[in-house]
Amino acid sequence: MSRDAEKRLLQAVMAVVLLLPASAVIPSIIGGPRFLGHPPVVSADLDSHFRYLSGLFLALLVLFAGTIPAIERQAARVRLLGAMVVVGGLCRLLSLVLVGVPSIGHQLGLAVELGAVPLLMLWQARLARRYARSISAA
């Protein structure tokens, strides 16, 4: 596969992967923890914390989306954002171990956080190396 074709494919895959969390973040900000369909009584502290974290999540998604146009030159940003996602996934995994298996949406999130994102990080690094080699050879 050509370098440019690989870039377009990575851009498309990155955009598709971002759709899953994007579909949850706006309802999370608007609905707070009630978005999850659990307790009808939510403390103000829990609601505040949930919406704050949802806002951080939205910022993370926007920053990830910003890497898509020039993905081959975004290695540092993809590594930083990816590391943040993986740490969050490890915390979600801790919850699974300590508290129990969450709903399917959270299980999918865990798969993205500890599976898809690390793979995308490796793929982006490979693409960045290909582009760097082509620049130094020119």
pLDDT digits (tens, 9 = 90+) for 6-15: 999 999 999 9
Query: What pTM was computed for the model?
Result: 0.89
Split into its structural domains, the chain has a count of 1
Tokens found for residue 78: 């993809």
Q: Which helix (H) or strand (E) holds 122?
A: helix 117-137
At 63-100, the pLDDT tens digits run 999 999 999 999 999 999 999 999 999 999 999 999 99
Q: Which domain holds residue 42?
A: 3-137
